[in-house]
Structure 1
Amino acid sequence: MSRYGFLVSPSHNRVYAQSAPALATAELQAFGETVIDGGVRDVEITEIGGVPYVTFTADPLSDTGIRLLSNLSSLYALFTVEGDLLRPVARKPLDLFGSDLLTIQKYAGKTNEDFTRMLVNVTALATDAPAGLLTGAMRLLDPMCGRGTTLNQAVMYGMDASGLDIDPKDFDAYSAFFRTWLKNSRLKHRAESGTVRRQKATLGRRLQVSLGASKELYREGRTIDVTVVNADTLRSGDFFRRGEFDLIVTDAPYGVQHGSRPHGGGNAGRLSRSPVDLLAAAVPVWAPLLRPGGALGISWNTLVGRREQLAEILAANGFTVRDSAAYQGFVHRVDQAINRDIIVARKD
């Protein structure tokens, strides 16, 4: 057995930084339950030199184990713990692009990038093939994608990413940002945008991008495909195929700056402050788009919706909720009006 520890990454958000060590512990345990041979034990927060580390015991990590743990959302540096000494372990993260893809965008209500990575990670770990996280072969849908933080994280991992959002301003902002980022990064790509019509009816607008992590991969046709649609999430089935996705990952409206209209898009229907109403209407639409064995991960504000309510909705639509100690360890305070948690479930 070996003892390991990792330095928790500093965060630009003071409140999230306070929660980061506990969240890192839960995320590590989720990795240990699924993809780390022999699991992880004795996980605890240990202060070394006045700085918090997450320490744990495990069988000597293989190259695959190091590659997996290198993607922990709060991991800044990994070490083996040898008595009073820390021996660095070279990280091997999946990231294909520079961090500017995740950090350039600044706007009110943006989800912390570390939290988004954690949400993607723990959802991928809940699938029937969690090691697929290393291959980039997973396909992700964010059916309420806003300005695309989750989509950008998927692209960082080499995943095909699709999203919907009803707000035309968010669609335009993401389209402008992503096209500019592609040009500034000098990545080979093809980008097309236009209106989606069916039987002479306008369904929404769509941005489609194919990009290569390198010129060689682009020439070989080994591209990362990104599709974003400006439309109501309740019409997701009009734009995507049944069983098309391995992951559905999204932030439910927090009921503070964001409201939802579960009974129709645009200005139709009453404005709800609860994510429960929206999810009750949306999950039956999303579920057919996820392949059997795929997983759905949702973050939400516990002050406007109880975990039991979301679990009942998911169970009624053919999902099995992950309820281990790790998957119940993600609740944390964002501000006085938002207490955020994650619920993850696998499609039966």
Structure 2
Amino acid sequence: MHKYVILANPGHNRIYFEAALSIAHSEITAMLAGLNIHVETSLDSDIGLPAALAFSTTEALSLEAQSRLTGASIYYALFEVVEGDLLRPLSPEPTHTFPQSMSQILRYTGKTNEQFTRLMINLAVSAAQTNSEQITLLDPMCGKGTTLYEGLIQGLNVVGVEINPKSVHEIQTFIVKFMKNGRFKHKTQKLKQSAQGKKVADGFLLEAASKKEAFNAGDTQQLRLYAADTRIADQVLKKNSCDVMVSDLPYGVQHGSKSAKDVKMARSPLELVDDSLHAWKAVLKPKGAIVLSFNEFTLKWRSLAQVFENHGFKVLSEAPYSGYLHKVDSSINRNILVAVKP
């Protein structure tokens, strides 16, 4: 048995910190399972560190596995427990490409916590089995872009669809400014997407690399952004073009689903998902994964799972892809659903 301890990031959201330690154990179990490493038990974390997650594995963590853990939502430092219960610090190579500040700079009401967003991305990547060399992440309701920024940080290509043109403009403005201020090599392009001879969305493409040498060699990451209704995502994006899909469903307030004939926003997140899943399924690759977070006070996990199953998805209802329910505040009891396209 090999024992390890992850020191929790001191910047982690304190509102649900106790729950975060528990759900982070499920997260790393899923992450390591993707590398065929079994997390045996959750150990007593009362080891003299301020806040930590202790676990054991049946085999020693490889350098690749150690590096993978640096992308965990709660990660700050990694230790191996050696003889005498001493902690030996490990120094894995971080997996992120761009600075983590990319997703941390912007602050606004309703923003999803970046660490929680990272957790959802990790679950999606672990659940997907598309075997793509370069993973493409889609947020079909990307808001102001937290999921897109976290995806770029983790080295993924990202695609965002957002019905609010103001939010699309804000993402475009921010990411270009971030690249310029950080002196990251990049290029941009305006896009226009048509279907059946009619324009359905204006778009934006950013191609960039965290290092100049990589950019010059063509080793880049892409951000594609479209101002469109998520329910027509299959008219905006190519079929079978995305490996994973991650999004934070509206928590019961007015949100982004409108038809071409009726600008009134839909209020039911379940209705929105049901109306959108045909399009999401079309753009997701076979064996690709979807991870959604939602408010259990306004939408029950079982109801959401039933909608996914009705559309032919396999809902992952067993650990480590279940058990993520946690309280955020008095009006939000947040949960996660993970589903895979056959």
Contact 2:138 2:246 in 1 (8 A): yes
Distance 1:54 1:249 in 2: 25
Contact 2:294 2:336 in 1 (8 A): yes
Question: CA, structure 1 residues 127+50, in 2 after alignment: closer, same or farther (shift >3 Å)?
Answer: closer
Give the letter aligned to residue 162 of structure 2. D
With the length of structure 1 as denominator, give the TM-score of the two structures.
0.91
Equivalent in the alignment of 1:275: 269
Task: Determine whether 1:169 maps to 2:160.
Answer: no
Task: Determine whether 1:285 maps to 2:284.
Answer: no
1:98 Cα deviation from its structure 2 partner? 1.4
Distance 2:126 2:195 in 1: 37
1:195 Cα deviation from its structure 2 partner? 4.9
Give the letter aligned to residue 113 of structure 1. E
Contact 1:146 1:170 in 2 (8 A): yes
Equivalent in the alignment of 2:17: 17
1:304 Cα deviation from its structure 2 partner? 0.8
Question: CA, structure 1 residues 247+12, in 2 after alignment: closer, same or farther (shift >3 Å)?
Answer: closer
Equivalent in the alignment of 2:189: 192
Gaps of 5+ in 1: none
With the length of structure 2 as denominator, give the TM-score of the two structures.
0.93
Equivalent in the alignment of 1:311: 305
Give the letter aligned to residue 43 of structure 1. S
Distance 1:314 1:90 in 2: 41
SS in structure 2 of the partner of residue 210 of structure 1: strand
1:47 Cα deviation from its structure 2 partner? 1.8
Deviations 1:300-344 (A, max 9, x none): 111111111111111122211111222112111111111111111
SS in structure 2 of the partner of residue 48 of structure 1: coil
Task: Determine whether 1:79 maps to 2:75.
Answer: no
Equivalent in the alignment of 1:41: 40
Gaps of 5+ in 2: none
Question: CA, structure 1 residues 199+316, in 2 after alignment: closer, same or farther (shift >3 Å)?
Answer: closer
Contact 2:139 2:247 in 1 (8 A): yes
Deviations 1:132-163 (A, max 9, x none): 6xx6x101111000111111111112211111
Deviations 1:280-308 (A, max 9, x none): 10111110111111111111111111111
Contact 1:21 1:45 in 2 (8 A): no
Distance 1:119 1:112 in 2: 11
Contact 2:63 2:92 in 1 (8 A): no
Distance 1:291 1:195 in 2: 23
Contact 1:166 1:230 in 2 (8 A): yes
Question: CA, structure 1 residues 36+197, in 2 after alignment: closer, same or farther (shift >3 Å)?
Answer: closer
* Same amino acid, percent of matched pairs: 32
Distance 1:160 1:270 in 2: 30
Equivalent in the alignment of 1:53: 52
Equivalent residue in structure 2 for 1:139, among 136, 139, 151: 136
Equivalent residue in structure 1 for 2:210, among 206, 213, 216: 213
List 4+ stretches of structure 1 deviating above 3 A: 194-202
Contact 2:164 2:256 in 1 (8 A): no
Equivalent in the alignment of 1:264: 259
- Number of equivalenced pairs: 340
1:227 Cα deviation from its structure 2 partner? 0.6
SS in structure 2 of the partner of residue 51 of structure 1: coil
Question: CA, structure 1 residues 266+158, in 2 after alignment: closer, same or farther (shift >3 Å)?
Answer: farther
Task: Determine whether 1:93 maps to 2:94.
Answer: yes
Equivalent in the alignment of 2:129: 128
Deviations 1:46-104 (A, max 9, x none): 12226232111111111122122221110111111133321101132211111221111
Distance 1:22 1:203 in 2: 43
Equivalent residue in structure 1 for 2:328, among 323, 334, 343: 334
